[in-house]
Amino acid sequence: MVAAAIAFLAHTLAGHWAEVTAIRLRPRGIWLLLLAMVVSLLAHGWAGWVWSWILQALQQPVSGTWSMPVYLKTNLLKYLPGNVWHFYGRVRALGDRGVAKGPAIVGVVLEPLLMANAALLLGLASPTRYWPGQILGLGLALGAIHPRWLNPVMNRLGQAKAKADLDEPLPQAALHHYPLKPLAGEMGFVLLKGIGFALVISAVSPLPASLWLSVVSLFSLAWLAGLVIPGAPGGLGVFEAIAVTLLQGTLSAGVVLSAVAVYRLVGTLAEALGAGLAVLGQRILSKV
């Protein structure tokens, strides 16, 4: 899948090479890119805080001041082959904090499920030819995080882990209520990511106010594809290919290709900055 996405991008880029190379940053483009990086940084910091809400919904006493730096520090690990090492790092950090392995695993796995629901919800704001499928997928995704269906799955996960590793029951994690607060929080995360992408587009080409909602909505679907398709570290290649496919009818192909390339750079720099700030902040606090 990743190889196919990269091949599609290469083919599209070759077909629109002249258009891409003709694009230059607008006069205020550099400031818009800096703003996009700040918004992207805020998005990841916010996601780290929302992660504490997910853990609290599982009756784990984790604060946002602890979860945010851990989240930011582990975020860059998603770019390693396998696209699972950031999850491993978070489970390990929760274990070091004293959270049992069962709730830790569930608290980490539940986050991308909520993100997927949030992206699908925002994706409905701009109907595409896939809209019936989006509605069906959203219904299934929203149902999947209902405690009635999710709790038995989480219990089986804990039992399987116990059988494989410990031969004794693991403390079980359970949702007592539908996770509306974490879901709303993840919608804020995806929305901030989409605004960052729209700012990148604005840096290379004028983006009318009437198109912002559509761009953010379609971005959400492209970002979701990068999240759920396995084997793509950080959604690399997949996000870009889907974004080009969805946005070509709204913007010129050259603008979209330039924007997705620049956005990948801006987003990665924001994640690296977030990880660096988290490490620096913890070092400063440890000396106080």
Q: What is the DSSP letter of 139?
A: H
For residue 137, the one-letter residue type is G
**Contacts from 79-85 at CB under 8 Å and sequence distance 24+?**
79/233, 79/234, 79/236, 79/268, 80/233, 81/233, 82/233, 83/230, 83/231, 83/232, 83/233, 83/234
pLDDT-based confidence at residue 62 (cuts at 50, 70, 90): very high
pLDDT tens digits, 167-203? 455 556 778 899 999 999 999 999 999 999 999 999 9
Please say if the pLDDT value at position 231 is more than 50: yes
Lowest mean pLDDT among 5-14, 175-184, 263-272: 5-14
Decide: 228 and 141 in contact? Cβ < 8 Å. Answer: no
């998603």: which residue's tokens?
Answer: 78
Decide: 226 and 234 in contact? Cβ < 8 Å. Answer: yes
pTM: 0.85
pLDDT tens digits, 115-166? 999 999 999 988 777 788 888 888 998 998 899 888 887 767 656 554 555 4
Neighbours of 17 (CB within 10 A): 12
Please say if the pLDDT value at position 17 is more than 50: no
